[in-house]
Amino acid sequence: MPNDNTQFFIKESAFEQALVDLLPHHGWEKEVIMQPSEADLIQNWANIIFDNNRDINRLGNATLTTSEMQQIIDQVNRCDNPYAMNRLING
């Protein structure tokens, strides 16, 4: 049986919007990329990598070049299963 907090959705778009509205309350960024292209997603990932490695002993203030980002994508594409990809990305 559903509890009092259960929401039901008729339209998928309403569900998506409710999820987008909920995520910032659980540590996610408020900005959402709407209908991103592959290039938008790659740039967003490059920005995340930069932000997570901005320490002076890591990337400092140098953003990833297109070539460096392509090297990362190539390494991910060489992984033969999702576990290996996750280990590469998070390791």
Which tens digits make up the pLDDT trace of 52-62? 878 777 767 78
Question: What local confidence, expressed as pLDDT, does residue 3 receive?
Answer: 61
Distance of alpha carbon 64 from alpha carbon 42, whole angstroms: 11
Whole-structure pTM value: 0.63
Question: What local confidence, expressed as pLDDT, does residue 29 receive?
Answer: 77
Contact between 85 and 78 (Cβ < 8 Å) = no
Q: What is the CA radius of gyration of the chain?
A: 18
pLDDT per position in the chain (91 positions), as tens?
Answer: 456 678 889 999 999 889 888 888 888 877 778 889 999 999 999 988 888 878 777 767 788 899 999 999 999 999 999 999 999 988 7
> Closest by alpha carbon to 9, among 25, 22, 28?
22
Distance of alpha carbon 23 from alpha carbon 28, whole angstroms: 5
